[in-house]
Amino acid sequence: MRQSSTSATRQRLTDFLNDPLSQGLLTGALTLIPARNYPTWLRRGLIWAPPIAGGAGAAYLVMNPKMRRKIAAKVAVAQYSPSTPDSLRPPEPPAAFRTKGPSRTAALIAAGTAVGGVFSLATAASFWADEKIDQGLRRINVPFPRAVMGLAAGGVTWWSLKRDQDAAAESKH
Residues 85-93: what's their mean pLDDT? 55
Residue 136 lies in a domain: no
Q: Is residue 116 scored above 60 in pLDDT?
A: yes
Q: Which of 25-29, 42-46, 165-169 has the lowest mean pLDDT?
A: 165-169
- Predicted confidence band at 15 (pLDDT cuts at 50, 70, 90)? confident
Residues 31, 25: Cα–Cα separation, whole Å: 10
Residue 67 lies in a domain: yes
pTM of the shown model: 0.70
Residue 1: per-residue pLDDT: 45
Residue 146 near residue 32, CB atoms below 8 Å: yes
Considering its fold, how many domains does the chain have in total? 1
Q: Is residue 2 scored above 70 in pLDDT?
A: no
Residue 109 near residue 62, CB atoms below 8 Å: yes
The values of phi and psi at residue 89, to 5°, are -85, 135
Residue 116 lies in a domain: yes
What is the domain range of residue 64?
Answer: 38-123
Q: Is residue 92 scored above 80 in pLDDT?
A: no
Residue 27 near residue 157, CB atoms below 8 Å: yes
* 47 vs 173, residue with greater confidence: 47
Handedness of CA 162, 163, 166, 168 (dihedral sign): negative
Maximum mean pLDDT: which of 5-9, 28-32, 79-83, 106-110: 28-32
The values of phi and psi at residue 49, to 5°, are -65, -40
Residue type, 16: F
